[in-house]
Amino acid sequence: MSIVGHLINGSLSEAAERTQDVFNPATGEATKQVALASKETVEEAIAAAQAAYPAWRNTPPAKRAKIMFRFKQLLEDNAEQICAMIGEEHGKISHDAMGELTRGIENVEYACYAPELLKGEHSRNVGPNIDSWSEMQPLGVVAGITPFNFPAMVPLWMYPLAIVCGNTFVLKPSERDPSSTLFVAQLLQEAGLPDGVMNVVNGDKIAVDTLLTDSRVQAVSFVGSTPIAEYVYATASAHGKRCQALGGAKNHAIIMPDADMDNAVAAMTGAAFGSSGERCMALSVAVCVGDEAADSLIEKMTEAMQGLKVGDYTDASNDFGPVITEAHKNKVNGYINSAEEQGATIVVDGRNPQVAGFENGFFVGGTLIDNVKPGMKCYDEEIFGPVLLVVRAETMDEAMQLINDHEYGNGTCIFTRDGEAARYFSDNILVGMVGINVPLPVPVSYHSFGGWKRSLFGNLSAYGPDGVRFYTNRKTITQRWPSSGVREGVQFSFPS
């Protein structure tokens, strides 16, 4: 059985005291193993990044950008192979994997803009013969810790921008689906990146804790569940590091009585069940204003869900694939069970679907649950599976209050034809990413991605302008050249 190893200082390594099985979630079979890095292996990667930093820091931004241009082309040339790797280990259907990769490539394109992003600001004659300017300088060695659900896209949120800003990088991807992440990093090496600038260490908590506590690591980016995000942020901050830690979500959609229900149902079907609901931006709660809207949604959604196809990644006619592990399958089914036990109505039951030829796969079918209320476990917690909950509210204000009261504030949307309602919603909802008739309001690469409340720990969001701010330190320089032969008196007052 092959072993997925590490990329350290430009070379592949299978160094491991321990290994862990990597599964094909559609078959339930272990297909390879991943090396779990020891503390010493992670420290080797950090040392390689630290050694590469001085030369890379002084490489002109235009030359860094040229490498990213070549990297972008290599990603496009190898897209089918990357998507197959994602499908084999994550279970994501080929068209969904291609969408993930495309959004990741957009962030590489943004990184290609480095000379513009890093040019700083200049003011001449802020005082007599005094000039002042700012520079965006890199931090040093920075690290990323990424989740299983987007093994290509989320790492591409982090290291292309960090690297073009002049930093060196150590990535710890998910050990559940590591192959595509490692392969993409190898493509960056092929694009001409100097050895040691980009390093990948596969591992578990030992690797994470080493990155969080090593004094040579200046900043940490993280995407994952809220409990781990909170741990990462607290630990990194306690060790003097800059940290952005993106956590979980419970994304609500408000369905107004005037909504175009057919379009709303079509939009929500993809947003709720795409990628098996394993997205931090998955739309998991529909809050219907009025029973008429709720009944119409239930009727049309039930009909739409009859045609959903769940299966293996190689069949592009499938809508979504399995969840990542058997344990997660049981967890998602447990949320459905709890909803039923707590008085909700299971309208469409996706527990234990039969997928011919893949009887041992980790599949959960699309599930629709009505009459859900706050306080139910399925409502309060993030399910991270293909489950759509329906909550009934009497007014728009009541619906918005549900969203504002929830501990998560990642994404939300409203379906309406009323511009006044849409404007009021976007102005007053306490959520970081808002859609108006857009169910997955994931910002494009030149904006920034991040939620509010317990969906983001740290002051700066991911990628885009906030990403540049996160991966750089602003330095302001004030300069004066006095005229020769002119003697100046001592000044004790504060300069103005």
What's the confidence (pLDDT) of residue 491? 80
Give the 3-state secondary structure of the chain: CCEECEEECCEEECCCCEEEEEEECCCCEEEEEEEECCHHHHHHHHHHHHHHHHHHHCCCHHHHHHHHHHHHHHHHHCHHHHHHHHHHHHCCCHHHHHHHHHHHHHHHHHHCCHHHHCCCEEEEEEECCEEEEEEEEECCEEEEECCCCCCCHHHHHHHHHHHHCCCEEEEECCCCCCHHHHHHHHHHHHCCCCCCCEEECCCCHHHHHHHHHCCCEEEEEEECCHHHHHHHHHHHHHCCCEEEEECCCCEEEEECCCCCHHHHHHHHHHHHHHHHHCCCCCEEEEEEECHHHHHHHHHHHHHHHCCCCECCCCCCCCCECCCCCHHHHHHHHHHHHHHHHCCCEEEECCCCCCCCCCCCCCCCCCEEEECCCCCCHHHHCCCCCCEEEEEEECCHHHHHHHHHHCCEECEEEEECCCHHHHHHHHHHCCCCEEEECCCCCCCCCCCCECCEECCEECCCCECHHHHHHHCEEEEEEEEECCCCCCCCCCCCCCCC
> In one letter, which amino acid is 299?
E
Distance CA 422, CA 345 (A): 30
| pLDDT at 348 exceeding the cut of 90 | yes
Task: Tell me the average pLDDT across 350-369.
Answer: 96
> What pLDDT, on a 0 to 100 scale, did the predictor assign at position 13?
92
Amino acid symbol at 396: M
Distances (CA, A) of 457 to 96, 218, 450, 462: 28, 17, 10, 11
Q: What is the pLDDT of residue 454?
A: 96
Query: Pairing relation of β-strands 456-457 and 121-127?
Result: unpaired
Cα torsion through 423, 424, 427, 431, rounded to 10? -100
Strands 283-289 and 345-348: unpaired
Distance CA 128, CA 113 (A): 35
Q: Are 454 and 412 in contact (CB under 8 A)?
A: no
Average confidence (pLDDT) over 67-71 = 98
- Give residue 128's pLDDT band: very low, low, confident or very high (50, 70, 90): confident
What percentage of the chain exceeds 70 in pLDDT? 100
Strand partners for 243: 220
Residue 240, pLDDT > 80, answer yes
pLDDT of residue 493: 83
Phi, psi (5° rounding) for residue 232?
-60, -45
Residue 486 reports pLDDT greater than 80: no
For the segment 100-114, the average pLDDT, to the nearest whole number, is 97
Q: Could you tell me if 164 and 242 are in contact, meaning their C-beta atoms sit under 8 angstroms apart? A: no
> Is residue 306 within 8 Å of residue 268, measured between CB atoms?
no
Which whole number is the average pLDDT over 455-474? 96
Q: Which of 112, 165, 243, 280 is catalytic?
A: 280
pLDDT digits (tens, 9 = 90+) for 426-458: 999 999 999 999 999 999 999 999 999 999 999
The answer to whether 280 is a known catalytic residue is yes
Confidence of residue 483 (pLDDT cuts 50, 70, 90): confident
Say what angle helices 179-190 and 61-77 make with each other, to 10 degrees: 130
Identity of the amino acid at 114: A
Tell whether the model's pLDDT for residue 485 goes beyond 80.
no
Q: Once rounded to an integer, what is the mean pLDDT over residues 147-166?
A: 98
Is 3-247+455-477 CATH 3.40.950.10?
A: no
**pLDDT for position 384:** 97
Tokens of 54: 């001085």
Nearest to 298 by CA among 416, 391, 417: 391
- Count CB neighbours of 97 within 10 A: 28
Question: What mean pLDDT comes out for the span 224-233?
Answer: 97
- Tens digit of each residue's pLDDT (9 = 90 or more) over 266-276: 999 999 999 99
Task: Give tens-digit pLDDT for 202-217.
Answer: 999 999 999 999 999 9
The verdict on domain 251-436 having CATH code 3.40.190.10 is no
Lowest model confidence (mean pLDDT) among 13-22, 303-312, 446-455, 468-477: 13-22
Sheet-wide strand order for 6-8 = 11-13, 6-8, 198-200, 168-172, 141-145, 217-223, 242-246, 456-457
On the question of pLDDT at 494 being above 90, the answer is no
Half-sphere exposure in the Cβ direction for 210 (13 Å, CA): 22
Classify the phi-psi angles of 384: left when phi > 0, otherwise alpha if psi is within -120 to 50, otherwise beta.
left
Burial class (CB in 10 A: 0-12, 13-18, 19+), 295: middle
- Tell me the C-alpha distance between 147 and 176, whole Å: 9
Residue 484 pLDDT > 80 = no
What b/e sequence results for 326-343 when a residue is b if at least 16 CB atoms lie within 10 Å of its CB, and e otherwise?
eebbeebbebbeebeeee
pTM: 0.95
Report the length, in residues, of the chain.
496
Question: What is the C-alpha separation between 187 and 199, in angstroms, rounded?
Answer: 12
Average pLDDT score over residue span 373-395:
97
Instruction: Retrieve residue 7's tokens.
Output: 């990329």
Q: Where do you find CATH 3.40.309.10 in the chain?
A: 251-436
d(CA 201, CA 38): 9
Q: What is the mean pLDDT of the chain?
A: 96
- Residue 307, C-beta contacts closer than 8 angstroms, at least 6 positions apart: none
